[in-house]
Amino acid sequence: MVEAPQTEEGWFALHDFRSIDWDAWRDAPERERRRAIEEGKSFLRHREQVTDANEGDSGLFSVLGHKADLLFVHFRPSLDDLSAIERRFEDTALAAFTERTTSYVSVTEVSGYVSDEYFADPESVDEGLRSYIEGKLTPDIPDDEYVCFYPMSKRRGEEYNWYDLSFSDRADLMADHGEVGKEYAGKIKQVIASSVGLDDHEWGVTLFGSDPTDIKDIVYEMRFDPASSRYGEFGDFYIGRRFPPADLGAFLTGETVPTGDGGREVNGHHDADVEGGHHGESGHHGDAGGRGEGHRGSGGGSAHGDHPHGEEGTNVEGDHPHADGEERDQQDRHGDASDDAAADIRGELADLDIYAGKPHGEDVYATVLYSEADVDELFDEVEGLRGNFDHYGTHVKTAVYEGRATDRAAVVSIWDTASAAETAAGFLSELPGIVARAGEESGFGTMGMFYTVKPDYREEFGDTFDEVGDILAEMDGHVETDLMTNVEDENDMFIASQWEAKDDAMAFFGSDEFRETVQWGREVLADRPRHVFLA
C-alpha cells in the first residue's frame, strides 16, 4: 500500500454560513430588531473573547453574493466546544432572522510533507519551524481583513489519482506548490484544516488578506501548478470581510462594514460600544477623588505552504442575553443558574442569621470587572457607556469603585436580569486595562456586597474593614478581599471578596468576628446592605 503521510492535528474549525431573512427583518417591530442586534453582538463578543473554552479564536465576516450574508468562523480545542457554540447561537433572538445556508467542519493539520524530523522528534527541530507549526495548528484570525473560504479534495480519477502516487512524488509536488505560496508571504495568511471523515471534501482552505486581488492572484497562479491542475478538485468559493460585533447593527442597516468607529446608530439607538459610545459632559472632580454633580447616575506561516497546498517553512457565558426582561419567553442558562445559586446561598446565610434578602423588593444581578487603568480615564469611558445603558429599563446602576488595598478599580454594572447584566459585560470588557471579571479569579464569586455608610462613620468603617482584612488573610481558602469606594459617592462602598470555594467563604460568614461586624454595621449603615448575584 502507498505510504500515507503522518499528520498532527490542532484546533477544530467550524465555518458557519448564514443568510438573513430580509423580509422578516424589515417586517419585525423595532423592539425585536434591537433585541436581536444586542443578543447577536453579545454572543459574538463572547465568542471572540473565547469565554466558552480555555483557548481558541472566532471571527465575524460579511459575505458577498447570493450564497450567504454572514460567516462565523470558530476555532476551538474540541468538537464539543463547537457543538455548544452552535446551540448557543440558536438560542439568541438574532438566530430567528437567519437561515444556515451551509457549514463546514474540519480540524487544523500539518502533515509529514513539512518535515520528517518534526514527526520523528518534535523537540529536535529548530525553534522557527516549531513556531511555524504551532501557528498552523492554533491559528489567529486577522482583524479587518478579507476572507476566502473553499473546500477541496485531491483527485482520484482514472488518469490522475493522488493516492496512487508514492510519498516522495507527492512530497515533491507539495514542495513545488509551496514555492508558489511563498511569493505571497506577508500578503496572504492561510489556514488549512482537514475534513477527512468530518465533511464532504478532504480539506477546508481559509485565506486571509488585506487586498482581495491578492487572494484572486494566489488561487489563480496555483491553478497552473500540477498539484492543483492535475490533482485538485474544488468546491464553492466564498468571499467576505471581517467586521467587529459592534458593527452588527450597521451591517443590518446596509452600511459598509467595518465602519471604523465601533458602532453606529441603529433604529434610533446608538450601539452601546466603548469606542463608538459618546461620553457625557464631564463634571468637576469633587473632594477625595469623587466626581461632582455634573456626572450622571450612581499564527500562521507563508501562504499556501501547508498541506494540501505545499508545506515548507522555517519561519495566535451568558451567550444570548435578552436586553429587556419583559420580552423574555424563557430564562436563559445564566438566569436559571443564578436563581438556583441565589436560593441556595440565601438559605445558608439565613441559617447563619445573616441578612441576604431583597433590600429593594427585587433580585438584581451585577457584572463586576477589574481594571488597572487610570481611574479618571476609566471613569470617562464608563460614563459614555452608562448613558447608553440608561436606554434600557433593566439598567439599575453602573459605577466605578476605587480599591483601598489594591491598585485596581472595579467597574460594577447592576441590572434587573442576569441576561441583561451579561450583555453589559460584553461592552464593559472592552474598557481600558481590564484584567479580570469577578467570579473568574477563584472558585467562588456568587455575590457582591454593597454598603451605604453614614457619613460620620465612613472612616471608622474603613478602619474596621482593615481589622477584618487581617483576619481574612489568615483564613483557609481566602484569595483576596478589598473595600472599594464609589468615585462619585464616597459613602457607597463595595466589598470584593474572592475565595477558593463557597465552603471557605461560608466558614467566614459563620465566624464570631463576622457576626460582630454585622451587629456593628447595623449602627453605621444608612441602609440595609445590598447583596447582589454576579451574572
Decide: 150 and 205 in contact? Cβ < 8 Å.
Answer: yes
105 - beta bridge partners?
14
- Measured in residues, the chain has a length of 535
> What's the rounded Cα separation, in Å, for the pair 238 and 219?
13
Distant-in-sequence, close-in-space partners of 86: CB < 8 Å, separation ≥ 6: 14, 16
Assigned C-alpha cell, 138: 492554533
Residue 150 among the catalytic residues: yes
Coil, helix or strand at residue 385: helix
Determine what percent of the chain falls in helix, strand and coil, rounding each to the nearest 5: 35, 25, 35
> What's the rounded Cα separation, in Å, for the pair 2 and 465?
74
Assigned C-alpha cell, 85: 457554540
Taking alpha carbons only, the member of 195, 171, 170 closest to residue 116 is: 171
DSSP for 332-348, written as a single string = -HHHHHHHHHHHHHHHH
> What's the rounded Cα separation, in Å, for the pair 169 and 166?
5
Assigned C-alpha cell, 458: 465612613
What is the 3 state secondary structure string of 492-524? EEEEEEEECCHHHHHHHHCCHHHHHHHHHHHHH
153 - beta bridge partners?
233
Tell me which of 132, 146, 150, 401 is the catalytic residue: 150
**What are φ and ψ of residue 532, in 5° steps?**
-115, 155
DSSP for 144-187, written as a single string = T-EEEEEEEEE-B-SS-BGGGS-HHHHHHHHHHHHHHHHTTTTT
> What's the rounded Cα separation, in Å, for the pair 395 and 416?
7
Q: How many helices (DSSP H) and strands (DSSP E) are in the chain? A: 15, 19
> What's the rounded Cα separation, in Å, for the pair 458 and 178?
70
> What's the rounded Cα separation, in Å, for the pair 106 and 193?
5
Taking alpha carbons only, the member of 36, 513, 496, 485 closest to residue 245 is: 36
Across 360-394, the runs of DSSP E, i.e. the strands, are 365-371
Neighbours of 276 (CB within 10 A): 21
**Judging by beta carbons within 10 Å of its beta carbon (0-12, 13-18, 19+), is residue 434 exposed, middle or buried?**
middle
The catalytic residue positions are 150
